[in-house]
Amino acid sequence: MVVKKVGVIGCGLMGHGIAQISAQAGLAVVVRESDQGALDKGLQRIKRSLDKLVEKEKVSRPDADVALGRIKGTLRLEDLGDCDLVVEAIIENLDVKKQLFKELNGICKPATIFASNTSSFSIGEMGAASGRPQRMVGLHFFNPVQLMKLVEVVRAKPTSDEVFAEAKAFGEACGKVPVAAADTPGFVVNRLLVPYLAEAIRMVERGDATPADIDTGMTLGCGYPMGPFTLLDYVGLDTTLFILEGWAKAEPSNALLQPPKLLREKVKAGKLGRKTGEGFFKWDGDKRA
Ligand code: CAA
Ligand code: NAD
């Protein structure tokens, strides 16, 4: 694997996990946030996750300390200039992502591979905006990154064979099972998952059942580890809304992809899920209250 140094942009829910698993894979990591408060919070989250893995005897204390030592936080995009791979995990907004990759093109060495952790947007469009479409790939990790075994490796038409192979090798080095996905909205998993989450919300809007009963139905009836409303809170209602809004714009006549009114209302009220302490359920830190 050519990748020895990884840049991660965004140290939120997904970025902190991607930085952590990269460091646990033995790679040097630079993680960039937009402000010091968010950076401190993200680095603290990595520390807490490693402590938890030590407590559960999944990782040894010395290995956890070494992994933490491999991660450098920064507010400067320029510090990612010599990275072999940059993985973007910022807000789910295509224009903001495109602008970021354009800027990165002027900062990173020509060989740097650009990857996006986007849930729903076109890797090809980001590649075109970046000015290096052959070196752009999707690396879609799942939440919580430290525990979920899958990574979708998304190939846009211009993505080179070498870049796709490197991205896949990176995912494997991080302990994930890669699946290849085409550059279509939602790739494999979210194309199935997100309409299901939206339909669960519409079921509540119609008064068919409560969130708690729907969750019980899907956990006990289908064996899912979480029902759709716990999962919505876990993913973030803002992120789910961004995904649906992007798709609704592209496919306005597809009823499955329209954002439910209740989802908009929750986001407007700042009830974003676990990260704000309330979404469809109330949360006490990481656990349901
Ligand atoms: N790092 C380290 N440890 C962690 C952790 C993390 N990030 N997150 C949880 N843990 C720990 C917990 O603290 C817990 O430890 P304790 O038992 O000491 O409390 C342990 O791992 C197990 O956690 P849970 O008690 O919550 O147990 P669980 O068996 O329910 O497993 C889960 C948790 C793996 C998250 C499981 O509930 C699950 O698979 N849920 C579904 C998640 C899912 O569907 N994710 C995909 C979301 S969609 C997506 O990501 C794509 C997108 O683009 C939106
Ligand atoms: P989040 O809001 O938890 O984190 C995003 C972070 O990016 C924030 O901390 C923010 O301060 C930071 N940020 C914004 N602009 C930045 C910039 N220019 N430079 C550096 N940092 C910047 O969001 P998240 O849930 O981690 O989602 C990140 C990406 O991952 C999105 O594209 C989302 O669709 C995707 N994703 C999310 C999930 C999920 O379950 N939430 C799962 C898979 C993929």
pLDDT, one tens digit per residue, over 29-65 is 999 999 999 999 999 999 999 999 999 999 999 999 9
Q: How far is the CA of 287 from the centre of ligand 1 (A)?
A: 10
Ligand 1: residue whose CA is nearest its atom 11: 52
Q: Is 20 in the pocket of ligand 1 (CB under 6 A)?
A: no
What's the mean pLDDT when you consider all of the chain?
97
Ligand 2: residue whose CA is nearest its atom 29: 89
Best CA proximity match to 230, nearest among 243, 209, 216, 245: 216
Q: Is 152 in the pocket of ligand 2 (CB under 6 A)?
A: no
207: Cα within 13 Å, side-chain hemisphere: 0
In eight-state DSSP terms, residue 209 is S
User: Is position 16 annotated as part of the catalytic site?
Assistant: no
Under 8 Å between Cβ of 86 and 9: yes
% of the chain exceeding 90 in pLDDT: 99
Under 8 Å between Cβ of 233 and 282: no
Q: According to the model, what pLDDT value does residue 79 have?
A: 98
In eight-state DSSP terms, residue 112 is P
Q: According to the model, what pLDDT value does residue 1 have?
A: 86
202: Cα within 13 Å, side-chain hemisphere: 12
User: Is position 117 annotated as part of the catalytic site?
Assistant: no
> What are the tens digits of pLDDT across the range 110-142?
999 999 999 999 999 999 999 999 999 999 999
* For residue 94, pLDDT beyond 90: yes
Q: Is 12 in the pocket of ligand 2 (CB under 6 A)?
A: yes
Q: Residue 55: CB partners within 8 Å, gap ≥ 6?
A: none
